[in-house]
Amino acid sequence: MTAPAVLDTLREAAPAALDSAALGAHGHPEAFEFGHLFDHIKDSNELEIPFGKIELPHLPTIHVAGVDFDLSITKHVIFVLLSAVVVAALALSSARAYRRSLVPKGFANAVEVIVVFVRDEIVLPNMGPGGLRYLPYLLTVFFFVLVMNLMGLIPFGSSATGNIAVTGGMAIISFIMIQVAAIRSMGLAHYLAELTGGVPWFLWPIMVPVEILSLFTKPFALCIRLFANMTGGHLVILSLIGMIFLFGSYLVPPLTLAFVLGINLLEIFVAFLQAYIFTILTALFMGLGILAGGEAKEHAHTSGD
């Protein structure tokens, strides 16, 4: 049923409930385009501020070997940079608070709670004591993803993690770090030997492509999971608000906005949860590599006796 048809049935059922001011010039409401909702989530070259918009600069496209790179500053670029500045400010100000005394005052306490949580619940159980050298990277991932997610929930903000290029970039860096952790722990030769998966040599042509594929699916899943969670959440909120425009009645906003409030609170929880899941899955995959390297070293030591 299209929007005009829905409104016709509503008009027969409760004519007094319909606000005629919501109807367009021809007595039907302007067709509610679902695609318009995506404009609020997608990247755009305009930044919305209260009472207006700022047109962001288009930088010239760079052509490299047949591929066009459009590096203009868009809304999501601004929010990625803003989140990076916020995370850096948080980290640096908390670190400075420790210079004066072992027990900090002020906001550094809250940051310490999260840092200790990441160290004791995410890094140490999954990666062991050897994983502490990767703690700075995991903390950066956690705070960065968290701040980018939360930026989408403030008015006039947009979550940069709703852009698959941003989550793709984070997944690529996580992929690199997972391989670095594995290679550093067990050496390049053993790392390549792991790719065969310990099957007899005639199964290698089947096993090696499957193992290489599985190397890539894990970060790909990280990317898609974060992107789809953020986009889906914002899409639900925007669809519920769009229902107000679809029905054009004064009865719809109270119900709809109660739902929207509930889903906004859920989105705050999902922001924290997705940051936690990204971090713990990266730590888990790194930990698998570090564990295999530890076993290899033990075998080498015991077989050398």
Partner 1 sequence: MDANALEIAKQAAHTWGYLAAGIGAGLVILGGAYGIGRLAASSMDAIGRQPEAAGQVRTAMLIAAGLIEGVTFFALVICLILATLK
For the CB of residue 3, give the shortest distance to partner 1 in the complex, in Å. Answer: 14
For the CB of residue 278, give the shortest distance to partner 1 in the complex, in Å. Answer: 9
C-alpha–C-alpha distance, residues 169 and 185, integer Å: 24
CB closer to partner 1, 94 vs 282:
282
CB closer to partner 1, 8 vs 120:
120
5-24 b/e (C-beta count within 10 Å ≥ 16 → b): eebeeeeeeeeeebeeebbe
CB closer to partner 1, 204 vs 276:
276
CA distances (Å), origin 170, targets 118, 140, 161, 280: 18, 11, 9, 14
CB closer to partner 1, 221 vs 258:
221
Could you list the residues that contact partner 1 (CB under 8 A)?
34-35, 38, 121, 125, 221-222, 224-225, 227-229, 232, 273, 276-277, 280-281, 284
CB closer to partner 1, 175 vs 191:
175
For the CB of residue 186, give the shortest distance to partner 1 in the complex, in Å. Answer: 24
For the CB of residue 172, give the shortest distance to partner 1 in the complex, in Å. Answer: 17
CB 3 within 8 A of CB 246: yes
In sequence order, what are the residues at sequence separation of 6 or more whose Cβ sits closer than 8 angstroms to the Cβ of residue 83?
A: 144, 147, 148, 151, 160
CB closer to partner 1, 108 vs 226:
226
For the CB of residue 243, give the shortest distance to partner 1 in the complex, in Å. Answer: 17
- Collapsing DSSP states into helix, strand and coil, what is residue 95? helix
C-alpha–C-alpha distance, residues 15 and 271, integer Å: 42
Q: Which residues, listed in sequence order, are joined to residue 46 by a DSSP beta bridge?
A: 55
For the CB of residue 164, give the shortest distance to partner 1 in the complex, in Å. Answer: 9
C-alpha–C-alpha distance, residues 166 and 83, integer Å: 12
